[in-house]
Amino acid sequence: MRRSVLVLVLCSIPTGAFAQGFRLTVESIMRGPDLVGTAPSNVRFSADGRYVYFAWRSPGVDTLDRDYRVAVAGAASPERLPRNALDTIAMADGVWSPDLRREVVVLKGDLWLAERTGAKRRLTQTPAPESDPAWSADGRAVYFTRDGNAWALGLEDGALRQLSDVRRGPAPKKPSDPTGEKKFLRDQQRELFDFIRRQVAEEQMRADTDTVHTAKPLYLAERQTATRLDVAPDARFVLVTVTERAKGDSLEGRQVVLPSWVTQSGYLETQQIRTKVGDAQSRERAALIEVATGKATWIDSVGVGERNAVGVGISPNGRHALIRVTTTGYTDAWLAVVDLPSLATRVVAHLHDDAWLDGPLSTTAGWLKDGETVYYGSEETGYAHLYTMPAAGGAPRALTRGAWEVQQVALAPDGKTFYLHTNEGDFAQVHYYALDVASGRKIQLTSAEGRQDAVVSPDGKLLAVLHSRANHPPELYFQADQPGSPMRNVTESTTSEWRSFGWISPEIVMIPARDGARVPARLYRPTATPANHAAVLFVHGAGYLQNVHKWWSSYYREYMF
């Protein structure tokens, strides 16, 4: 839910402002990370759960190497990883197999297999990058995208199979049968020459007895690209999302040019950036490709008006596909289930907002493990909450409710637990919760004041938490996956110079507005009341960046101002 917020600052330099020679000046503040430090980010567990990997730069270390790991057991300090070790050590997050014993990951465009035992195996080494890995229902094959098509790789025999044939360009035209004098000449040739008759008969026999089956290609227009392909667990269907970019050289789709003044060449250079809001935007369509025949069916019957359709995913049991359709004005969205193989389509949820559909869960949707239940996010109550809906249709089930919002949703690999980041109880804080899918029971796992961005270990027993406060950047902590467990600090990212200053932890106050609404604001009290009772009001130009909360802001220079 969007809120109008205000930042209020009462001016006075706090005691200790110039401690140890530190001067609070614009020049000093604008040093950014050189003053404050570089906080950890991109936190992830190894497949065996023994290590946590993250990007960081410890204080006083001047190097381009930012990849670190720390052992979960014991009290070891983080170790910086050499770049040549990243291919086999710092594996990225991946997708777990149906038996949860291994995961397939993408690392620098290639596929790797990482076992819970710690063993790793490279699956591909190709110039073309692979992406979007997934598993077959039996766990014996890996699906992925390469060169705009879906592929299957057998893990036992290494067999590689192309599941879709998406091509760019017009479909070739079938030669038309001759007419008039040309038809008469062809028929006469066949009648007069035994050789011609045998040639025609052999061609027909080869066509009738050819055992090599070629699926029908899907041809795309020049500006169209297959941007997402999702393979059914049984590999019978591929759900494809096709994006058509706006016309690049026309007035309605021209991109904005951004100049770069400081360049290696010494000359002005430019780059194309996103189109303006009023320009023509890219469009999206969704289709289902039957792998056996290559037949593509566009899902165009859902919704009304100008709209885009994207494929969300195919259900774990392979019986349904989920499509999200959104109007170009973002006032309406429909979630539709397509039955496989009949392709019968029905809308299971219709979302509407007179202004526009947005919020932290505006694109959240997916399948539960049973393959017969859809989950999605909605602001129909005025707050972002999580819902489920039967694939057959019916009444939605609210998994969360209240005057607070769910900000992030992640479904555990076993499908039994939702992990949520919410601001329940205090809009100025974010905590981590575990929600049991079956019962709906929700447990708060973190409790420290501020913001918690957490990931859970593969065995579900440990949390790696990026925790920040209003006056301290995020640091990495470990905590048992149990409510009330203490957090163990792993990193200290700030510089000694920055820590020498007495940074204020602001109060959150509520200011009554003329319409009766209570507007939240940050209040920085002076150490003594100024004689003129002067105050400084600061309102950020972007409504969603007012930063009235109890955690560290990405706009931390404004905090130091």
pLDDT in tens, 31-73: 989 999 999 999 999 999 999 999 999 887 777 778 899 999 9
- Cα distance between residue 559 and residue 514, in whole Å: 27
Question: N- to C-terminal Cα distance for the chain?
Answer: 28
Assign 19 a pLDDT band (cuts: 50, 70, 90): very low
Q: For residue 211, what pLDDT is reported?
A: 57
Asked if the structure places residue 531 within a domain, the reply is yes
pLDDT on residue 85? 67
CA-atom Rg of the chain in angstroms: 29
Determine which helix (DSSP H) or strand (DSSP E) holds 209, and give its type and residue range. Answer: helix 194-209
Instruction: Give the count of domains, the chain.
Output: 1
Task: Determine the pLDDT at residue 377.
Answer: 98
Q: What angle do CA 489, 494, 496 make, to 5 degrees?
A: 115
Name the residue with tokens 């420290």.
Answer: 448
* 149 located within any domain: no
Distance CA 115, CA 48 (A): 7
Q: Which DSSP symbol is given to 155? A: T
Helices 180-192 and 194-209, interaxial angle, to 10°?
A: 100
Helix (H) or strand (E) holding 36: helix 33-36
Q: Is the pLDDT of residue 385 over 60?
A: yes
Which pLDDT score is estimated for 525?
87
Domain, as residue range, for 518: 6-37+498-560
Q: What is the mean pLDDT of residues 379-407?
A: 97
In terms of pTM, does the model score above 0.85? yes
In a domain, 401, yes or no: no
Task: Tell me whether residue 327 is in a domain.
Answer: no
In a domain, 544, yes or no: yes
Higher pLDDT, 504 or 377: 377
Does a structural domain hold residue 53? no
Average pLDDT, the chain: 89
- Specify if 529 maps to a domain: yes
- Provide mean pLDDT across the span 491-495: 95
> Between 57 and 141, where is the model more confident?
141
pLDDT tens string 264-275:
999 999 887 777
